[in-house]
Each structure stands twice: as C-alpha cells, then as structure tokens.
Amino acid sequence: MPCHTITTQQVALDADFGSTTQDVIRHLAGLITAAGRTENPNVLAEAANAREAQASTGVNGRIAIPHCRTAAVTEPTLAFVRLSHPVDFAGPDGDAECVFLIAAPEDDTKAHLQLLSKLARALVREEFLEKLRYANSPEDVVTAVNEVLNAGVKKNEVRGDVDKPKKRIVAVTSCATGIAHTYMAADALEQAARGRNDVKLLVEPQGSSGGKPIAPEFIASADAVIFAHDVVIREPERFAGKPVVDSPVKRAINEPTAMLEEAIAAARNLNPRRVPASSSDTATSTPATGRLKRIHQAILTGVSYMVPFVAAGGLLLALGYLIGGYDVANGWQVIPITYSPTNLPGHEVLIGGNLTPFSHSGWALYLGAILFSIGQIGMQFVVAALSGYIAYGLAGRPGIAPGFIGGAISVMLGAGFIGGLVTGVLAGAIAFWVGSWTVPRWLASLMPVAIIPLLASLAVGLTMFLLLGHPLGEIMAALQGWLTSMTGSSAILLGVIIGLMMCFDFGGPVNKAAYIFGTAGLSAGTDAAFEIMAAVMISGMVPPIALSCATLIRAQLFTPAEQQTGKSAWLLGLSFVSEGAIPFAAADPFRVIPSMMLGGAAVGATSMALGVGARAPHGGIFVIFTYEPWWGMFIALAVGVAVSTIAVLTAKQLWRRKPVTSFSTMEKQR
C-alpha cells in the first residue's frame, strides 16, 4: 500500500528558510501546517527544537534530520527543504543543504515508526542523496522518498553477509528518540562492512520501531562488540566479556569504517576493554566519558535511588507527627512494641523507667508512633542506599553489596552522607577494577556474585575503619554543628545561596547539587536540616509559577508556544517540578534565568529568616502538613514568585526581541 507520509505540499526546493536551525525548523513546521498535517505548528517546532538542543542532527552528506515525537501530529509526517542558503546543523562535513523534519505521534505504533526508520537508513545511501540534490520538482522528491518508504526488504539482503569472514562483529545502536539516528547508525555500519572479506557484522538497532535481537549463538561466537548509543543499552550482559568499542551514536554515522577497524583491532588485542558482566556498568550504559563524568553520573544514580527512601521515610515521619503529635518522637521505639490495638497508650507512657507525657493518647498516639517508627526505619537506609547505588552506577550489580555495607559503616562511624558518598565511589571503583580482571573460565561465573562483592566489601570496610571513617565522622560532626549554630545573617546567606542554585538550571547539575544537600541532611533530623530542605523545595517551586503568572499578566511578551506552556506550568511549580521552566529558559536564557535566580534568592532568604522547616523531600505545596510553620511557606513562596515575575516582565519589556511571526501570517506573506 503506498505511503502518504509526504506530499508535494511538504516539499520546498531551493528555498531560503533563514539562517538558524530554529528558523529552518519553524518553516518546515509551516509546510506541515499548510499541508493540513498539524494544527499546532508552534508545538511541533518547539518539540523539534528541544530535541535539536539535546544533540545536533547534522549528518554526513550535508544533510540534517531534525525529528521529534509530539502530540501535534496524529500520523508520521515528513517535510523536506533543499536550502538555497545552507544552515549550520553541526554536521561533520559542513552546513546542511538538505533538511528533513520527521515528526511522529507520541503514541505511534511500531509499524508507523518503521517507515521513518527506512528513511533514516536511506540517508546514508549516496544514490538517494543524489536524487534529493538534483530533484527538479517536489514530485521528484516525493517519488524518491516514497520509493524508499514503500520498498520491501530484499530476500537476499542479509546484514553483514560476506563469504568467509575473518572476524565476527556485533553492534548495537540506539539514540534518544529511537527514530532516526538509531537506524542511520545501523545502516552506516552495515554499508561499511558490506563488501569486506575480513568481517561479518550483525547490527541490532534498539529503536522505537523495534528490531530483532541478535541470536545468542552469533553473540557467543563474536570476536568484538560495537556500542553506538546515546541511551542505555538494553541487556548489555548478553555481550559480557567481549572486547568492546563504545561511542555516541553519531560517530557510527560519521565514522563507521573507523569503528569497524577499532573493533577488529580490539578483537586482536590481548588485553582489550571488555563488556563487564554487570548489566548496569557505566561503560555500557552511557557513551564513553571521562572518569570525573562517570563519577558524577554515578552520584546522580545514587541520589535518584536514594530519594524514594527519603521520600517514603520523610513522609511517614511527617504523618506520624501529624497524627501522634510532635512529641511522638520521644516514644516511637517503645509505644509500637509495648502497646497494641487492645491496649492503647494514655497521655503518659513509661519510657526508660520514667513516665513521659504526650499531647495525644489512644489510637492517635499509637498509630502516630507506628507511622513514625516505619519512617524512622526507612530513613536509616538513606545513607546505605546512597552509597550502594553510587557503587551500582559505577560497577553494576556487583557493586551494590559493598556499597550498602560501606554506607552502613559510614552511619556506624558517624560519617553520614559524606561518608556514604565516599564509600559509594570507593566501592564502585574497587568492584569495577576487580571485575576487569582476566580470570579462568571456571572462576568467571563466581566473580559477580561472590568474588567481587567479597573483595570490594573487605577493602571498603578496612579503609573506613582504619583510615577514613573517623576523619569523615569529624567532618560530618563539624558540618552539623555549623548548620545547628546558624542564626540571623549566616542562615539567610545560606538560604540565598540555596535559592540561587535551585533556580539556575531547573533540574540541571547545579539544581541537583542543592537538592542533594537538602535531602541528604534530612537523615540527621535536626531543625537546621529541615530549614535547608524548606529553602530548597520552596525556591524550586518558584520558576514555573512565576513564568506562568508572567504569561498571564503580559502575554504579548511571550511566544504563542510559551503562552500555552504557561497555562500548565503553575501546576508543575506547585508540585516542585522546576523543569517546568525549561522551555522558557531555553528560548530566552539571558532574561529568564537571572530573573528566576532573583526570586530564588528572595525565597531562600525569606524562608530562612522565618525559620520555615520541611520534613519531606518532595511534593511542593501538596505536603503542606510537613512545613512548620505552614504560613511561612506561603509567605516565602509569594515573595519569590512576585520578585521573579516582576523581574522577568521588566527584563522582557526593557530588552525586547524581534516579535515572533505566527505561522498563519507567514503563510499569507508567502
């Protein structure tokens, strides 16, 4: 059945679509609008530009393929332009002369995405590119594209099938969206291998349209592995022990022959880099990066796994306080054990030989104590989880046990979350190093389940008890003492710093660093820690709410897409999802980011000055019962939102940009 993914209305030849990638994408979205394929060109352009900001889409042949998934289209849609003035899409061989915009529905089926993957693969074929470069009419482009999209797989076409290969190579390709780069990389590698008599290659594209996994028998016989990816490789443990070449997916598109040569060299190397036994080692889950980058990623992994412990434990503690009163903390270890539903406690409970008074009694005190006990037990795992999953991020499953053990030792020695960070990195590094040893085959199966955890746990434990534990404990005690002693201007200054960090990059590394500082301190259970957490959470709520208010007050200062985003951004802000401000900051960073930072600083100062504390690590306004005093949270939030809203409106009013032309106006002008 013919494919109607592209029509002549969606093709422009030798057109001037502006000088930037954003200009080109907006015009291509206009073509799709004119063809009746979308009613939301701004949403479509915004999605494609957001994807372009993550990673450029320029490829070999002076081609660019901006692409996205978006609710703006209901079926796979293409638009094409041959530019009269090439535009820089960061391609490897110069500015792009031909540009495809590929748009897929958010809930697209695999069958539809397979059509798009066929186009992506065709873009590495010179004969197809020649048809695009020398097309005389839009009809010629549509014919060439439809020939590709409607072509069946040739029966005699088998990937990497060459006679008597000397080296067997397997490759896995994957990109962020799974639409284009995944399949372009796969075909580029296959074409580089086709015709060679020294290699047999099988490629497994892990894209949105699916792909048949490489047979285990071929993997077992493979001499080397190529990972070309921007996202996590699924089931990398299938390739454990194989020599590996690891790189971002675009390198396979631009330098497929070089990657094949590297894989062949790795197969011949007596001591190559190998795929580890763990399915989650950083080397196989992200492109090859420097050591500091890997450690940073592992720490973020640890934090992401730690947060559920903090969230569950913190909220349960807060519920315990809410139901049983704040003095429930004095009896949480005794009340759940001593009393029962048929023997409820009164206002006085015997604790440590002394009668201790409580503000609540009966079911309220009993249930509050149980909830508080569950939360307290959950909070006791926070440092161990942080340490364990940092090690997991560095060394995969073999790193979990030594990481958790190291974290528990940190708690025992009073080193707290600082010790957890250190033991996590140390356990992961040691586990990764031990896992890289070349051992006899009979021992290899014992390495991930016994040998690596044993040696790494022993090394981490000895290091903490004999060397690092007590110094780290002293540092932690000094830090807690400093936080506890903060009053007046010093507390306000810390609040300002926290607010500035939370509103700098909206979920980025700086924001995450402040959030880690806040959540990690919750395990200490001090008033100072709760005040820091409040400053973190309230300031993180400000940017989306302020920008939503700004779009409501002066809509004409914002693009139509930003106005639409503003209608829902306030809810993200109230939920403590700072990322709701990213679309605004990406489009106008020099006016939006400083304005939001001003509001964040105002929140931090106000929150600290009022002594607002929060016992929960997330939830925004929806965990209002965890704030003390609750009215202080509203005052601090209102101050921050007001400052940021006024600042961003003032900046946009005094420093105006050229107004954005709507697509309907563009079409009339054309």
50 touches 584 (CB < 8 A): no
Among 37, 22, 122, CA closest to 72: 37
Distance, CA of 458 to CA of 406 (rounded, Å): 9
Which among 68, 98, 175, 503 is annotated as catalytic? 175
Other CB atoms within 10 A of residue 360 CB: 19
Among 182, 188, 212, 203, CA closest to 102: 182
Strand partners, 604: none
Q: Is 353 left (phi over 0), alpha (psi -120 to 50) or beta?
A: left
Distance, CA of 526 to CA of 533 (rounded, Å): 11
136 burial via Cβ count (<10 Å: 0-12, 13-18, 19+): exposed
Strand partners, 227: 172, 246
Residue 549 annotated as catalytic: no
Per-residue exposure over 523-537, b if at least 16 CB sit within 10 Å of its own CB, e if not = bbeeebbbbbbbbbb
What is the helix (H) or strand (E) element at residue 203, kind and residue range? strand 199-205
Longest dimension (CA), the chain: 96
Q: What is the CA radius of gyration of the chain?
A: 29
Other CB atoms within 10 A of residue 36 CB: 9
406 touches 426 (CB < 8 A): yes
* Three-class secondary structure assignment of 120-162: HHHCCCHHHHHHHHCCCCHHHHHHHHHHHHHCCCCCCCCCCCC
Vertex 455: Cα angle to 449 and 457 (nearest 5): 90
Among 170, 257, 266, CA closest to 221: 170
Backbone angles phi, psi at 614, to 5 degrees: -130, 130
Residue 175 annotated as catalytic: yes
Distance, CA of 345 to CA of 338 (rounded, Å): 9
Dihedral sign from CA coordinates of 327, 330, 333, 339: negative
Backbone angles phi, psi at 514, to 5 degrees: -65, -40
Distance, CA of 370 to CA of 549 (rounded, Å): 42
Distances (CA, A) of 488 to 491, 535, 608, 611, 634: 6, 15, 8, 10, 21
Distances (CA, A) of 468 to 35, 382, 465, 513, 536: 67, 20, 7, 23, 30
Backbone angles phi, psi at 80, to 5 degrees: -135, 140
Distances (CA, A) of 629 to 68, 71, 496, 615, 625: 45, 42, 19, 11, 9
Which among 67, 181, 229, 618 is annotated as catalytic? 67
Annotate 433-484 with DSSP letters as a single string. HHHTS---HHHHTTIIIIIHHHHHHHHHHHHIIIIIHHHHHHHHHHHHHHHH
152 burial via Cβ count (<10 Å: 0-12, 13-18, 19+): exposed
Catalytic residues: 67, 175
